[in-house]
Structures are given as structure tokens and as C-alpha cells.
Amino acid sequence: MPIAKEYFNICLFRKRPQDLPAASELLWFSVILYTLMSAIMAYPSASGWTAVASGFVETTILLTLTYIFLYLRSVPNRWLQVSTALAGTGIIFSGIVVPLYYIRVYADIGPSPQDLIMTFIIFIWFWNIAVMSYILKNAFSSSYLLAATASIAYVAIIMMILQQLFPLS
């Protein structure tokens, strides 16, 4: 639980990625949970194995883009902590969104509650982008604008690749 608190503090802009321990075990633990959460999120629109593959591909893209972006900024040595922070905060946001998403998809509720849930999910999505930008700003030692641009690029690239590999039916 202490590490979940650290991730949550990053989501609240109280901690930075460099405040996390540089431990490969923590990275792999976070990556596995992130992949699982991504698969759970994909499940309503994909079969079981396709959802798992989608989660794996999303995680692989996240880790690869993180390395590329850090390499381009000449700070690839920050990859471990930045990747851990991105995966860990992704787990927190997914933990908030997944139950809401499943209620929206599977519960027999009217359009008004569905709209309210979707509005909240969109809010969480923008908060996630802001946190990604915050993490990258610290990692890049750059402006928030550059970090926000990189965060939006992350999301756009991940969405484009996933849509190409796993088109929605």
C-alpha cells in the first residue's frame, strides 16, 4: 500500500517521478498491473485474448515511447523511474475509471446517469493527461508545454496503433 500512496501523491502533483525508488522489481510489478488494467478496460469491446493482447501492446508502446522521448532529451537514464511513475499512475486512473466504465456498459441505467458517468470519465482522462505531462515535465527538465505535447502524442500514438491492430467492431 505505501507504493499506491506514492502513485496517488504523484496524481495529486505532490510527488515527482524521481521520488520513486529506482527498482526494476517495482517497475515490473507496476507494468504487470498496468497491462492487466488495460486488458480489463479493453474487455467490453474485445474478446478475452484480444483484450490481453491490447493491454500488452499498449504497455509496450508506453515503455518504448518513454525511452524514445527520454533519449531524445538526452536523459535515458531516467527511464526506470519515469516508466514506473507512468505505469503506476495509470493503474490509479484505471482503478477509478474501470468500475465506472463497466457500470456504463453493463448496467441497465438511463441516458442521464450514463452521460454523467461519461462526463466523469472524460474528466479523469484529462486529469491523467495532466499527470502524464507533470511526470514528463520533471523527467525532461522542460516546460509544461513540451511535456503536454509529448503526453498528447503518447495518447494519440497509442490510440492509433491500437485501433489499427484491434479495430473496434
Residues 6+ away with beta carbon under 8 Å from 161:
57, 61
Q: Please give the residue that has the higher pLDDT: either 45 or 61.
A: 61
Residues 6+ away with beta carbon under 8 Å from 78:
17, 18, 70, 139
CB 167 within 8 A of CB 114: no
Q: What are the two backbone dihedrals, phi and then psi, of residue 15, each rounded to the nearest 5 degrees?
A: -125, 165
Give the Cα separation of 55 and 38 in Å (integer).
5
**pLDDT tens by residue, 136-161:** 999 999 999 999 999 999 999 999 99
Phi-psi region of 16 (alpha: psi -120 to 50; beta: other; left: phi over 0): beta
Q: What is the pLDDT of residue 108?
A: 86
Q: Given pLDDT bands bounded at 50, 70 and 90, which one contains residue 110?
A: confident
Q: Given pLDDT bands bounded at 50, 70 and 90, which one contains residue 169?
A: low
- Structural domain boundaries of the chain? 2-10+22-165
Q: What is the pLDDT of residue 168?
A: 74
Q: Given pLDDT bands bounded at 50, 70 and 90, which one contains residue 117?
A: very high
